[in-house]
């Protein structure tokens, strides 16, 4: 009787396992068949970049495609152009081989640019580590460094498992744009499809169609952007979060929170397609991540700070906030300049190609906004409190950099200064508003810098974009738009109120999405097990209780020596 009791569940489990194995095998057979019909990935990079990649400065290809619609009004002209091209190719076959080499070299040049700028963005991790470490109290410096280090490790692993697939898996065989040899097609969404996709469905574990030279080039660049969102939360939740809870936050950001919104905007998802699906200007636009990277990270940080509550002693019995001074201003300033340097990869690199010469304007705009933000923040703090504050000046520079990140390619230098200056004022007001009104304890000002200014930067695309760049963005503007052929992205001040509306709505949706989802998930987590360190550990400093070693061990030795004397 007892043997039968044991055998029944075992037989049931075996049947289920065999059924699952059959389904997986059938699925694999179908996937293999489909893969054989589709263009194959090129992990070696030998077939990436040929004559089809060669264009003139205006982006017109040298290869003339055969017309397919005899009823088109320009069919006769297109057919003659195609026949002339074929005749010329027959007379000079060697020219086609040269064109193949030129096309491959063009893609290789853009590869180099994209990878090198990705390395610059990766170096921003050092800037974030120094900045956040310098802004907190000395007793938590080692804890801050460990959080910054672990953020890269665990968020990257989550992005490898499913983050990249969720973000770019809707673009079928190759997620990369044409500048680096890709050919996205928007037809492999897990949820939605075509112009209404919500979640990508290919490239899990960066395999299959993601195992391709062009896709891997994009992956490197996108990973360091995702990691930036992961670093941002450190500044708002430090000095009181447990290490295990922080790791859970990073897995959540790298595997779900960031990739989903990034899919909507950069992975061919529904927000980017609003220009085609609803005729809303060029759809939602964020050139380099004011909202996708900084806004998502900033509002997620806000939700986590609310769940954790303020640090012990931050608010006195009268409810007024108390200042916890930065322990190392050298770290703060050095980290800020490293971040400024890394931003030269963050924004100009988002062209994903050195052949896009708009990079010079992007670089100048980025610097101008940063210095304008620093100047305004420093000046405002001086007038409000009687002395300039270098930490607020640094946050002002970062605020300007965050705000210009979305519109940097679409605006003039004068607009960049205005955007940076407003961001410098926003960060000052945001820090005081969070601390005094909302009672949110944000030790490094991350919510104001990245959340508020990220939202503002996305809206600025819809205000200041001047129409000189971005024709064809999100598939809109290559023909006639606003009465002009090849019209670029255009904001409210230059005649397109629709772009302003879509940017305002999209940026606000980002804030609600990032804050709301993060708050719900981690409110539940915190109710199951507290994410906060013990009172004793927080008062003593987290270096030793959390990691067993202090950032400044000589302090303990000095204290011991003084006690011995």
- Nearest by Cα to 373 from 336, 347, 345: 336
Residues 6+ apart with CB under 8 A from 205: 160, 161
pLDDT class of 49 with cuts at 50, 70, 90: confident
pLDDT class of 39 with cuts at 50, 70, 90: low
Question: What does the pLDDT average to over 430-445?
Answer: 96
pLDDT class of 11 with cuts at 50, 70, 90: low
Go through the domains of the chain in sequence order and give each one's CATH number.
51-91 (no CATH), 103-547 (1.10.3430.10)
- State how far the Cα of 489 lies from the Cα of 532, in Å rounded to an integer: 46
Whether residue 361 is predicted with pLDDT greater than 90 in this model: the reply is: yes
pLDDT class of 12 with cuts at 50, 70, 90: low
What are the pLDDT digits (tens) for 203-241? 999 998 899 999 999 999 999 999 999 999 999 999 999
Burial class (CB in 10 A: 0-12, 13-18, 19+), 89: middle
Pair of tokens at residue 228: 């930036």
What are the pLDDT digits (tens) for 438-467? 999 999 999 999 999 999 999 999 999 999
Which pLDDT score is estimated for 559? 53
- Nearest by Cα to 175 from 166, 184, 186: 184
Whether residue 19 is predicted with pLDDT greater than 70 in this model: the reply is: no
pTM score of the predicted model: 0.89
Contact 256, 300 (CB under 8 A): no
DSSP track, 405-422: HTTTTTS-HHHHHHHHHH
Q: Where are the alpha helices (DSSP H) in 233-328?
A: 234-237, 243-252, 258-265, 274-277, 296-308
What are the pLDDT digits (tens) for 240-256? 999 999 999 999 999 99
Which pLDDT score is estimated for 31? 41
Whether residue 18 is predicted with pLDDT greater than 60 in this model: the reply is: no
- State how far the Cα of 134 lies from the Cα of 457, in Å rounded to an integer: 27
């Amino acid at each position: 009787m007892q043997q039968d009791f044991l055998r029944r569940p075992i037989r049931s489990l075996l049947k289920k396992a065999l059924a699952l194995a059959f389904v997986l095998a059938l699925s694999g057979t179908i996937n293999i068949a489909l893969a054989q019909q589709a263009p194959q990935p090129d992990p070696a990079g030998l077939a990436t970049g040929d004559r089809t990649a060669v264009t003139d400065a205006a982006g017109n290809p040298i290869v003339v495609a055969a017309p397919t619609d005899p009823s088109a009004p320009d069919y006769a002209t297109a057919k003659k152009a195609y026949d002339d091209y074929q005749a010329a190719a027959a007379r000079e076959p060697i020219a086609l081989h040269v064109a193949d080499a030129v096309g491959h070299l063009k893609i290789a040049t853009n590869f180099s640019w994209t990878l090198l700028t990705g390395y610059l963005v990766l170096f921003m991790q050092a800037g974030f580590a120094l900045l956040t470490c310098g802004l907190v109290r000395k007793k938590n410096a080692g804890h801050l460094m460990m959080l910054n280090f672990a953020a890269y490790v665990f968020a990257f692993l989550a992005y490898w498992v499913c983050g990249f697939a969720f973000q770019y898996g809707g673009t079928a065989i190759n997620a990369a744009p044409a500048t680096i040899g890709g050919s996205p097609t928007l037809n492999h969404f897990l949820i939605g499809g075509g112009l209404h996709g919500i979640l990508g469905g290919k490239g899990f574990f960066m395999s299959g169609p993601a195992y391709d030279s062009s896709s891997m080039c994009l992956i490197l660049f996108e990973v360091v952007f995702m990691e930036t969102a992961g670093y941002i939360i450190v500044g708002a939740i430090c000095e009181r979060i447990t290490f295990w809870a922080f790791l859970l936050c990073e897995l959540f950001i790298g595997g779900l929170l960031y990739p989903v919104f990034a899919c909507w905007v950069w992975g061919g998802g529904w927000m980017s397609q609003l220009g085609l699906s609803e005729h809303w200007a060029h759809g939602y636009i964020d050139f380099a991540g004011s909202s996708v990277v900084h806004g998502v990270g900033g509002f997620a940080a806000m939700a986590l700070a609310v769940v954790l509550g303020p640090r012990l002693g931050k608010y006195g019995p009268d409810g007024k906030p108390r200042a916890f001074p930065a322990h190392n201003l050298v770290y703060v300033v050095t980290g800020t300049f490293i971040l400024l340097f890394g931003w030269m990869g963050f924004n100009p690199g988002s062209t994903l190609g050195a052949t896009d010469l708009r990079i010079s304007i992007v670089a100048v705009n980025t610097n101008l906004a940063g210095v304008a933000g620093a100047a305004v923040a420093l000046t405002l703090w001086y007038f409000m409190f009687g002395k300039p504050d270098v930490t607020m000046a640094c946050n002002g520079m970062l605020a300007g950099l965050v705000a210009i990140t979305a519109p940097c390619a679409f605006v003039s230098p004068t607009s960049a200064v205005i955007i940076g200056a407003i961001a410098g004022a926003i960060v000052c007001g945001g820090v005081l508003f969070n601390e005094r009104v909302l009672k949110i304890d944000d030790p490094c000002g991350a919510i104001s810098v990245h959340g508020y200014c990220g939202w503002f930067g996305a809206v600025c695309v819809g205000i200041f974009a001047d129409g000189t760049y971005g024709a064809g963005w999100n598939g809109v503007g290559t023909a006639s738009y606003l009465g002009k052929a090849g019209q670029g992205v255009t904001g409210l001040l230059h005649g397109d109120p629709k772009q302003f509306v879509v940017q305002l709505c999209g940026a606000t949706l980002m804030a609600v999405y990032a804050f709301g989802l993060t708050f719900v998930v981690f409110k539940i987590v915190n109710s199951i097990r507290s994410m906060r360190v013990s009172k004793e550990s927080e008062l003593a400093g987290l270096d030793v209780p959390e990691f067993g070693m202090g950032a400044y061990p000589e302090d303990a030795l000095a204290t011991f020596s003084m006690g011995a004397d």
